[in-house]
Structure 1
Amino acid sequence: MSAFLSLPLAMLLHAAPSAAPEPVLFAPGVVSTGQEEFGASFSPDGRTVVFNRADPTRFKFQLLMVSQWRDGRWTEPEVLPFSGRYRDIDPTFSPDGKRLFFASVRPQSASEEVHADFDIWFVERTEKGWGTPRLAEGLNTPEAETNTSVTREGAVYVTRSPKEGKRRIYRHAPRGDGWAPGEPLPEVINSGHGDGNHFVDADERYLVFSSQRPGGLSLDGFDLYVSERTGGQWGTPRNLGPAVNRTDGALTPTVVSARGTLLYAQRRPFLTTPPARPLTTKEFTTRLNSPGNGNGDFYEVPLTAVGLPAPGK
């Protein structure tokens, strides 16, 4: 990675957009539905998306789904062949698309029914399909590990949550066939306000993450921020602004280079004000089973709308 950013990139990352476009619902009725969805990751060509669906309580059971872009539309999602039994969350493709990382409570020994907390696993993806998940040795500790993001050189950024205290982001450098012990990102990132849920640019030019630090736009949730890396140092994060951060908060950001967008999950309330007229039974039922019913859905905005560089820039 270059030790410095080009001037145009630095200007983009420092400058908030002048207008906030309306985010677009991603794959409505197929990927974004009336169910709880979050944590999407795309293959490099943008034609495969892996994401989470969860039970209505959001915290009891989650699995990994996959959808493909075929014949001008997204296919009906299916459970990945290695998921569906244990709680699997936060999928992340490596930059070359050959490996998928995820967090799981699946057992790690014959004596376990489920593991005590989330740890990081990965599975290889080939032309023949998906391999068998393997525990990501070197990325896990007695604390809970969830979100990951992978650089082009093989470093893995991990969100780690202690049993008591706020989550933080760690960077694990590649070492041999695995990874070195994690180094926490500096206090400018790990502010003590639940920083994590992140995406790192493949060349480590910038980091997008969620935080409850003071000054956010959401009432009780998390805002998304971006920090640029110059000379090996992370800069002061910038709030991504009202194009993304609203009173509902935002989660699980990912940059989809093939689409030129930032995609994230958001739980928008069923209603914020009374409807102009009474809802009929059909209308109420339709809205209950549609995106925007209070469960998580995926929204996306152009990268330029949130001051992030276009693909390849």
Structure 2
Amino acid sequence: MSSLLSLPLALLLHAAPAATPEPVLFAPGVVSTGHEEFGITFSPDGRTVVFNRADPTRFKFQLLMVSHWRDGRWTAPEVLPFSGRYRDIDPAFTPDGRRLFFASVRPQSSGEAVHADFDVWFVERTDKGWGTPRLAEGLNTPEAETNTSVTREGAVYVTRSPKDGKRRIYRHAPQGAGWGPGEPLPEVINSGHGDGNHFVDAEERYLVFSSQRPGGMAPEAYDLYVSERKDGHWGMPRNLGPAINRLDGGLTPTVVPARGSLVYAQRRPFLSEMPERPLTTKEFATRLESPGNGNGDFYEVQLTAVGLPTPGR
């Protein structure tokens, strides 16, 4: 696989977008709701979406849900048949859509109730449905592994959280039927400021990830950045700009080629300013139960609006 980029692609990745776009809620009231949602992935045709929904605390319990595009709308989400008992997070389809990676604390032996930390698992998807989850041997360590993203050649990028608390991104090359040892990405990516929560282009042309590195736009949250890979080397990351990295920054980005868009999670505050008049009982209840209530929701923006290449470029 060549890592060389065309001039138009390089210009897109290095240049700030010409205009500040306004991201829109993805599937409001169906996928993006008043509940806590984060972590999202799409099948290659863009017609199946798998995502996380969590308990109100965000950290006690999470499961994987699926929705399908049918008859011009997204179906009511359902818990995936292999989820719903243990904490399952951060789903990621492979580029061919035949396998779904996710992180889980589910038991790894008959003597465990739950595992001590998150590790990477995967499940096969066929025309007959979902298989049985399998531990992704070779991708896991005594540290916590969460987000994954997979290239067309089968390399897996993993977010790993060492005991020092400095989240980093590792690349595991395909090796035999599994993967080789993880290699940390260079310091230009792994800055020591919580870098992770990533998406890698199927051809490894660019990487979108979250970071708390100095100079971000979300003071106490994570900004989304993009880095270009050229001649086998990762370039200086570019902040995706104020349309994405405002308020509480962005999390769990994924590029959806079939939709020509970037979808990411964001927790927007319940109120950014005081209302002009008192809220009624009904208005307050509606806001509490709707997207934008402080819990995580999904937002979508076109790739060209944030300087990312459209499919085929």
Which TM-score band (shorter chain)? over 0.9
Tell whether the 8 Å contact from 1:34 to 1:293 is kept in structure 2 after alignment: yes
The corresponding residue for 1:306 is 306
Structure 2: tracts of 5 or more residues without a match: none
AA partner of residue 53 (structure 1): R
The corresponding residue for 1:246 is 246
The corresponding residue for 2:289 is 289
CA distance in 2, matches of 1:68, 1:19: 32
- Please give the residue correspondences for 1:124-203 in structure 2 after superposition, counting only pairs within 5 Å: 124-203=124-203
Tell whether the 8 Å contact from 2:33 to 2:290 is kept in structure 1 after alignment: yes
Tell whether the 8 Å contact from 1:225 to 1:240 is kept in structure 2 after alignment: yes
In the TM superposition, residue 272 of structure 1 has moved relative to its aligned partner by: 1.5
Tell whether the 8 Å contact from 1:243 to 1:301 is kept in structure 2 after alignment: no
The corresponding residue for 1:38 is 38
Tell whether the 8 Å contact from 1:243 to 1:305 is kept in structure 2 after alignment: no
SS of residue paired to 2:83: coil
The corresponding residue for 2:78 is 78
Report Cα offsets for 1:42-75 as digits up to 9, x if no partner: 0000000000000000000000000000000000
CA distance in 2, matches of 1:90, 1:51: 7
Tell whether the 8 Å contact from 2:43 to 2:97 is kept in structure 1 after alignment: yes
- Please give the residue correspondences for 1:259-298 in structure 2 after superposition, counting only pairs within 5 Å: 259-298=259-298
SS of residue paired to 1:187: coil
SS of residue paired to 1:284: helix
- Please give the residue correspondences for 1:102-121 in structure 2 after superposition, counting only pairs within 5 Å: 102-121=102-121
Tell whether the 8 Å contact from 2:3 to 2:204 is kept in structure 1 after alignment: no
Report Cα offsets for 1:183-202 as digits up to 9, x if no partner: 00000000000000000000
In the TM superposition, residue 3 of structure 1 has moved relative to its aligned partner by: 3.1
Which stretch of the first structure deviates more once superposed, 243-252 or 205-214?
243-252
Report Cα offsets for 1:113-149 as digits up to 9, x if no partner: 0000000000000000000000000000000000000
In the TM superposition, residue 76 of structure 1 has moved relative to its aligned partner by: 0.1
**Count of residues paired in the alignment:** 313
The corresponding residue for 1:213 is 213
CA distance in 1, matches of 2:136, 2:228: 27
* TM-score using structure 1 length: 0.99
SS of residue paired to 1:182: strand
Tell whether the 8 Å contact from 2:38 to 2:265 is kept in structure 1 after alignment: yes
AA partner of residue 227 (structure 1): S
SS of residue paired to 1:38: strand
In the TM superposition, residue 273 of structure 1 has moved relative to its aligned partner by: 1.1
AA partner of residue 171 (structure 1): R
CA distance in 2, matches of 1:169, 1:20: 29
The corresponding residue for 1:69 is 69
CA distance in 2, matches of 1:81, 1:123: 11
Tell whether the 8 Å contact from 1:172 to 1:182 is kept in structure 2 after alignment: yes
CA distance in 2, matches of 1:130, 1:70: 19
SS of residue paired to 1:149: strand
SS of residue paired to 1:173: strand
SS of residue paired to 2:53: strand
CA distance in 1, matches of 2:309, 2:58: 33
The corresponding residue for 1:58 is 58
Structure 1: tracts of 5 or more residues without a match: none
CA distance in 2, matches of 1:262, 1:54: 22
In the TM superposition, residue 92 of structure 1 has moved relative to its aligned partner by: 0.1
CA distance in 2, matches of 1:199, 1:181: 20
* TM-score using structure 2 length: 0.99
